[in-house]
Chain A
Amino acid sequence: MRGPKLGLRTFLLVILAILLMVFDQHTRYFVKVRSVLSTVVSPLQYVVSAPIDLFAWVGMSVQTHNNLLQENASLQAEQMLLKARLQKLLALEKENNSLRALLQSSPRTGTARVLVAQVLAVDADPFMQQLILDRGSNKGVYVGQPVIDASGVMGQVTSVTPYLSRVMLLSDSRSAIPVESTRNGVRGVVVGRGLYNNMALTHIPATTDIKVGDQLVSSGLGLRYPIGYPVSVINNIQHEPGQPFMNVNVTPSAKLNLTRLVLLVWENQKVLLANARKQLMLIQKEDAANEHHRGANS
């Protein structure tokens, strides 16, 4: 008696699920639906994370006096060191800005607002390279916001709820970030491949001057990530003869799967835009110069 009814219901639900998948893949509208539903399940995520945070807290509280003193001393030493470096950096920044003014170019540095967030101890789908942070839209977090840690760019926010946000790491296979080499300004795009410790620098022509160990920093051309933060280091270059592009493997600078504390950055869009315009103009000029050169040679 229930047979056909059950079959019908299953059929309808299957159709519904397929429609959901198609909509989710092809429309932006679902970002909102997802954020509403995520709010409903966020208590679950807190429930899982809370005892683990508690253990960490207890572990910290029962540390011996001696250990704490040691840690304190080493932290103070580190702080001194960082402060000393910062002084030098500030002087350099000033010099850089005045040099840029001489070149009639807009200053690159602007102090961006940041917010410290903690990574929740929650596992997600193993295909997705993502994190869940304990800050959400009530602190002004928005979709597309860049996230960094102490050693480099981590990724960007992909969905927010009032109290939590989800971050797509650079290593996710949907992620791409425009970069430039600190050694000679070679530009490229770093894309993820679903592995924590390995990403790819794509579409690098075979004749480009790159070396293993080159540091790549964000160039800001995508108008999403802030300018000049470390993204990755080249660790392996392969070129098959006859192929127009090289296979370049890079290692992320940020500790993508180990960090507990991260920074959410509010980047000044105007600065990003002005900088991107400038860089694009430079690229165009270079191209024009190359064209001219080639024309003269032939």
Chain B
Amino acid sequence: MNRINRRGTWVIVLSILVALLLTILPLPMWARWLRPLWSLLVVSYWAIALEDKVSVGIAFVVGVLLDILGGSLFGEHALLMVLCVFVMIKLRRQIRFFPMWQQSVLIFILALFYQLGVFIIQSLVQEQPSSLLFWLPSITTAILWPWIFIILRDVRRRFNVQ
């Protein structure tokens, strides 16, 4: 049992690492604004699947890592990750019974909220994003949610993460 548990932890850590790698993967100029919020997707999935393992604490750590990797204001992504994951955990019972498209809509709203937070904090400390392309990631994030959900669910069953 203990061994299975430990393996589960490794699977979760690895999936979060992959999300962080995808966040800093260089993209061509035109695609930079399309990058989905990978870490939000992955942490949200684990939060609704195993909320006593992945909760706001993990969200905070991942957010701090995002801030360091991106060089943004310290605590900016940490704050938004914590808030989004809190909402996910609060709604997790309903979410499990949502059809996939409704889940995607919810993730879209969540990602929009996340982007709005980034927008507000950015305009408080320095330049605010000038182009409307800034809001695109919420759409790509919502489109990717079903795939992330299915892939991570299979991973979870395969490795018996609990």
Does the CB pair A41–B65 fall under 8 Å?
Answer: yes
In the complex, which residue of chain A has the Cβ closest to the Cβ of B69?
Answer: A41
Does the CB pair B79–A127 fall under 8 Å?
Answer: no
In B3-47, the 8 Å CB interface with A consists of 17, 20-21, 23-27, 29, 32-33, 35
Binds A, one of B54-62, B96-104, B151-159: B54-62
> Which of B68, B126, B129 is packed against the most chain A CB atoms within 10 Å?
B68
In A161-210, the 8 Å CB interface with B consists of 166, 173-174, 193-195
The A interface, classified by DSSP as helix, strand, loop or mixed, is: helix
A47's partner among B21, B51, B65, B86 (CB-CB below 8 A) is: B21
A126's partner among B17, B21, B33, B60 (CB-CB below 8 A) is: B33
Does the CB pair B68–A18 fall under 8 Å?
Answer: no
Given contacts A13-B57, A44-B17, contact A125 B70 (CB under 8 A): yes
Q: Digit string of B60-75 for contact with A (CB within 8 Å is 1, else 0)?
A: 1001110011111111
A173's partner among B29, B82, B127 (CB-CB below 8 A) is: B127
B126 neighbours in A (Cβ, 8 Å): 127, 173-174
Does the CB pair A30–B74 fall under 8 Å?
Answer: yes
Residues of B in contact, count (CB < 8 Å): 45
Does the CB pair A45–B75 fall under 8 Å?
Answer: no
A90 at interface by CB-CB < 8 Å: no
Does the CB pair A121–B82 fall under 8 Å?
Answer: no
A7 neighbours in B (Cβ, 8 Å): 86
In the complex, which residue of chain A has the Cβ closest to the Cβ of B75?
Answer: A20
A82 at interface by CB-CB < 8 Å: no
Does the CB pair A127–B75 fall under 8 Å?
Answer: no
B127's partner among A16, A37, A123, A194 (CB-CB below 8 A) is: A194
In B103-162, the 8 Å CB interface with A consists of 121-122, 125-127, 129-130
Given contacts A44-B24, A47-B21, A127-B122, contact A193 B73 (CB under 8 A): no
A268 at interface by CB-CB < 8 Å: no
State A223–B27 Cα separation when bound (angstroms).
36
A84 at interface by CB-CB < 8 Å: no
B25's partner among A40, A123, A130, A195 (CB-CB below 8 A) is: A123
A10 at interface by CB-CB < 8 Å: yes
A261 neighbours in B (Cβ, 8 Å): none
A10's partner among B23, B75, B82 (CB-CB below 8 A) is: B82
Does the CB pair B25–A193 fall under 8 Å?
Answer: no
Does the CB pair A25–B60 fall under 8 Å?
Answer: no
A19 at interface by CB-CB < 8 Å: yes
State A122–B27 Cα separation when bound (angstroms).
9
State A104–B127 Cα separation when bound (angstroms).
45
A14 at interface by CB-CB < 8 Å: yes
Nearest-CB distance from A158 to chain B (Å)?
8
State A34–B65 Cα separation when bound (angstroms).
10
A86 at interface by CB-CB < 8 Å: no
Does the CB pair B20–A130 fall under 8 Å?
Answer: no
State A174–B127 Cα separation when bound (angstroms).
9
B60's partner among A17, A41, A45 (CB-CB below 8 A) is: A17
Does the CB pair A37–B55 fall under 8 Å?
Answer: no
State A69–B12 Cα separation when bound (angstroms).
51
Given contacts A16-B60, A124-B69, A124-B71, contact A44 B82 (CB under 8 A): no
Does the CB pair B72–A25 fall under 8 Å?
Answer: no
Does the CB pair A48–B26 fall under 8 Å?
Answer: yes
Nearest-CB distance from B68 to chain A (Å)?
5
A113 at interface by CB-CB < 8 Å: no
B69 neighbours in A (Cβ, 8 Å): 41, 44-45, 124
Write 10 A-B pairs (CB below 8 A) sorted by A numbering. A10-B83, A13-B57, A21-B73, A21-B75, A34-B74, A48-B24, A48-B26, A122-B24, A126-B129, A194-B127
Binding site for A on B (CB under 8 A): 17, 20-21, 23-27, 29, 32-33, 35, 51-52, 55-57, 59-60, 63-65, 68-76, 78-79, 82-83, 86, 89-90, 121-122, 125-127, 129-130
